[in-house]
Amino acid sequence: MNFEFQAIYWREMVKFFRFKSTLISSLIQPVMWLAFFGLAMSDSFDQLTSMIPPLEGVRNVDYLSYMGAGIIAMDVLFSSLFGGTSLMFDKKFSLLRETLASPTPRSHIILGVGLSGVTKAFIQTGMIIGFGKLIGMDFFLGYTFTETLIAITGIFLLVGIFTLGFLFLSGSIAITIDNPEGMQSILTLLSMPLFFVSNALYPIESFPAILRFLSMFNPLTLLADGIRYFALGDNFTVMGMHYIYTPADVIISFLGLLFFASVMLTAALWRFDKVDV
Amino acid sequence: MTANVIEVNGLEHSYGSVKAVDNISFTVKEGEIFSFLGPNGAGKSTVINILTTLRKIQKGEAKVNGYDVASDSKHVRQSIGIVFQMLCLDHEMTVCENLEYHGKIYSMPKKERKKRIEELLKLTELEHKRDTLAKDLSGGMKRRLELARGLMTKPAVLFLDEPTIGFDIQTRMRMWDYLREIKREGTTIFLTTHYMEEADQLSDRISIIDYGKIIATGTADELKNKLGKDLIYLETDDNKTVAEILRAMESVKTVTEDTKSLRVMIGEDVTHVLPQIIDKIRQAGIEITTINIKKPSMDDVFVHYTGHGLREGEPQEKIEGIKTEGVSE
């Protein structure tokens, strides 16, 4: 058994904590989304939807809590999608040469980078949940300690698989493309439909049929749904929409994300195998 | 008898239609410093990349430390250290961290890593810089750190691709001292260079390589002595006629015509031959404008074997261009 991926992981983490500016901004950014966008939108949405009579016996969730799940999904999407960029610079400045010339298998490079991304995503998720609770996000409302623990584990598992998938995707692009501008534009192009054709920030029920159909296959939707199931329960209303999640829905989220991550892993392994120095 | 650490047989490599390495064979013995001397674009880096398994071998055979480069790349990689032509340190990590990372990706146990790092910091005189970020080191120190890194795993062979490129002569000479020290500790060194003095002063044996072919191999002295004992540099009114006259003389080994001058290799002691040469040229009624005597240098050796000085530019650019294209394939 080889453990070279630990070396890659170690290096990524050393650098993550070394750059104070990127460290702090990556931690503050999700909090700012919640604090500014979340609170502002939440108030206006809740005002608009306050006229809708609540369903009898079903918990009504405010927009902030609904969106909180989406913010987690969005935040880990962006950080993992852009997470591969460091690999492109490593390649560009020949830093990758040292590792590629070593006996370390290339799959370990992918794994090490992937795991470091998961760690960063976990830190961010924890920040959002913690800060969200502080400003009144109703995650885990009425849960027992054990239920909360299970919910948190579920959320982190989903976030982990999701992050790996997008890091593999971003790593594959990074290793294939040579110029930062090209990478930037591809990622921006990708992030746009991913972000908007999903239920991260708003329910998809009122989408045009085609967008609604597409959004079902969007990993971001799968993740947001999964997080909501764990954080808000399986039966709630928000903005007049009635949400019922069954265990099957959560299993679909898991399987869908696992499928996505494995396809991306295959792509990454293939691209890394082609890298020449 | 000492073992061969590197054995290369009939190595060929092309980038598209450009043949960068053309049927090369050579051996490097254990414990020696072996140099590839040649101009940019002669194929030196390609050979190093193949031997270090960074480039797939196309044709021929190569063994490093007894392992086949094509079929046993993992063992080859474990046997070697590399200092690349371009600086490739992680600038955002400290001196120690750079070494630590290297030890980790070669699966060195922690205890061994710590011990080796101390030894190497001492060897490369970077002890006081251990916690400095690599980006804050001077150029020479960065190179020394790379040298230390290349030695981290106690490799059987250390490969250096143009180790002193772009350095001033003091830094270069210090680098040579480190390399001699490393050799004394028993590491075999294979290096490429286009600096004559580097090949001359540092190497046990040199292969002159040009247009992908090895033209001559030997110790610096052997290569120089093959040329002759002394070299006369002449400028006259009529170089062509003088060349003919001199070629007819028994004591003259070779005459090379440059644009303005003649290089005359003498097989025996120049002090006796020079008066005869001057006499013969005078008798032919030709005026000598400049005359100069010296021992053959590596430059002369190079010009002699390749028929030209160290050229810069054109062929290299061609090959480099193709190389970069190959990367994204």
State the complex-level ipTM: 0.86
Residues of A within 8 A of B77 (CB-CB) are: 101-103
The enclosing domain of B283 has a CATH number of 3.30.70.920
Are the CB atoms for B291 and B232 separated by under 8 Å? yes
**Rounded CA separation A137/A61 (Å):** 9
Residue B295 has pLDDT above 50, yes or no: yes
Chain A 167-206, CB below 8 Å of chain B: which residues? 176, 178
CB atoms A4 and B105 under 8 Å: yes
Residue B19 and residue B117 share a domain: yes
Q: Where are the alpha helices (DSSP H) in A145-208?
A: 145-176, 180-196
DSSP letter, residue B16: T
Residue B167 and residue B136 share a domain: yes
Quote the number of domains for chain A. Answer: 1
Q: Is residue B22 part of a domain?
A: yes
Residue matched to tokens 């002449």: B234
pLDDT at residue B313, rounded to an integer: 41
CB atoms B105 and A97 under 8 Å: no
Q: Is A1 on the interface with B (CB under 8 A)?
A: no
pLDDT at residue B142, rounded to an integer: 93
Q: Is B132 helix (H, G, I), strand (E, B) or coil?
A: coil
Structure confidence by residue, pLDDT tens digits, B252-292: 888 888 778 888 888 777 888 888 888 888 888 888 889 88
Supply the mean pLDDT for chain B: 86
Residue B117 and residue B172 share a domain: yes
DSSP letter, residue B106: T
Residues of chain A with confidence (pLDDT) below 50: none
pLDDT at residue B309, rounded to an integer: 64
Closest-CA distance, A266 to chain B, in angstroms, reads 18
Residue B257 and residue B116 share a domain: no
Q: Is residue B328 part of a domain?
A: no
Residue B21 and residue B73 share a domain: yes
Domain hosting A165: range is: 5-274
B42 pLDDT band (50/70/90 cuts)?
A: confident
Structure confidence by residue, pLDDT tens digits, B126-168: 999 999 999 999 988 999 999 999 999 999 999 999 998 888 8
**Rounded CA separation B43/B61 (Å):** 16
Q: What is the pTM of this model?
A: 0.83
The enclosing domain of B202 has a CATH number of 3.40.50.300
Bin B15: left if φ > 0, else alpha if -120 < ψ < 50, else beta: beta
Structure confidence by residue, pLDDT tens digits, B91-106: 999 999 999 999 999 9
Residue B235 and residue B218 share a domain: no
Residue B186 and residue B103 share a domain: yes
Domain hosting B249: range is: 229-295
Structure confidence by residue, pLDDT tens digits, B167-220: 888 888 888 999 999 999 889 999 999 888 889 889 999 999 998 999 989 998
Q: Is A212 helix (H, G, I), strand (E, B) or coil?
A: helix
Residue B238 and residue B200 share a domain: no
Q: Is residue B312 part of a domain?
A: no
Closest-CA distance, A28 to chain B, in angstroms, reads 23
pLDDT at residue A230, rounded to an integer: 93
pLDDT at residue B131, rounded to an integer: 95
Q: Are strands B59-64 and B4-15 parallel, antiparallel or unpaired?
A: antiparallel
Residue B266 and residue B181 share a domain: no
Q: Is residue B305 part of a domain?
A: no
**Rounded CA separation A118/A247 (Å):** 25
Of A19, A95, A178, the CB nearest to B328: A178
